[in-house]
Amino acid sequence: MLVIGASYHRAQAKKSIVIAANDRDDLQGGWSMSEESSTGSPRRKWLRWIVIFCAISSASKIGSKLLNAAFEPEVKPPSVSASPSDATIGIAFGRVAAKTVESYFAKHKEFPSSLTAAQFDAPLPDPVESIRVNPETGALKIVLMGWAPSPTRTFFLNPTIEATGMTWECRAGEVPVQNRPPECPDAW
């Protein structure tokens, strides 16, 4: 005799369906089905698995954060604006870009539309966020990295065209006086 059983849980009652047959061939015909009912609480294995999964997941996240905290560098508080040494590096690199713009102007008799057009593609040093050229005036805008608003981190190199070439004047814009390097003492 072959017995196939199936059960399902609903509320507090457990119902079972039992199919009985004499052998496998009898499943096609001649089988009987009965329904039994019993009371009791359903098994909650699925709930245990969810609780175990959540506990393991939480423990791994906490462990991961603790492990990463041991290897993370100490975080520095954000500075209000760029330091004079960062500005000196930015302006020095801006002067290199200015020489490239000057060479482009000597060859084409116009300012480049971008530093890439002037074939200036050197990677920027750490304190420099960006250097851009104004295609109408040739002025270079040097923005330093930092947490402060952009105007307090921006320097300008303005060209003056002369018979012998160009001279470049540094303007500090809205950079606070204490953060201006000696080579760029003036504001607008």
Q: Establish if 48 belongs to a structural domain.
A: yes
C-alpha torsion angle, residues 102, 145, 89, 172 (rounded to 10): 70
* CATH number of the structural domain spanning residue 134: 3.30.700.10
Q: Could you give the maximum distance between any two Cα atoms of the chain, in Å?
A: 113
Do 44 and 89 lie in one domain? The reply is no
Domain span at 139: 84-179
Q: Establish if 159 belongs to a structural domain.
A: yes
SS (H, E, C) the chain: CEEEEEEEEECCEEEEEEEEECCHHHHHCCCEEEEEEEECCCCCHHHHHHHHHHHHHHHHHHHHHHHHHHHCCCCCCCCCCCCHHHHHHHHHHHHHHHHHHHHHHHHHCCCCCCCCCCCCCCCCCCCEEEEEECCCCCCEEEEECCCCCHHHHEEEEEEEEECCEEEEEEECCCCCHHHCCCCCCCCC
Query: What predicted TM-score, i.e. pTM, was given to this entire model?
Result: 0.55
Place 6 in a pLDDT band, splitting at 50, 70 and 90.
very low
pLDDT tens digits, one per residue of 62-116: 766 665 555 554 444 444 445 678 888 888 999 999 999 999 999 999 999 999 9
Q: Establish if 110 belongs to a structural domain.
A: yes
CA distance 76 to 80: 12
pLDDT of the residue at 176: 82
pLDDT tens digits, one per residue of 36-62: 444 445 566 777 888 888 788 777 777
pLDDT of the residue at 62: 73
pLDDT tens digits, one per residue of 113-154: 999 999 998 899 888 999 999 999 999 999 988 877 777 788
Q: Establish if 19 belongs to a structural domain.
A: yes
Number of independent structural domains in the chain: 2
* Average pLDDT of span 162-184: 86
Do 88 and 151 lie in one domain? The reply is yes
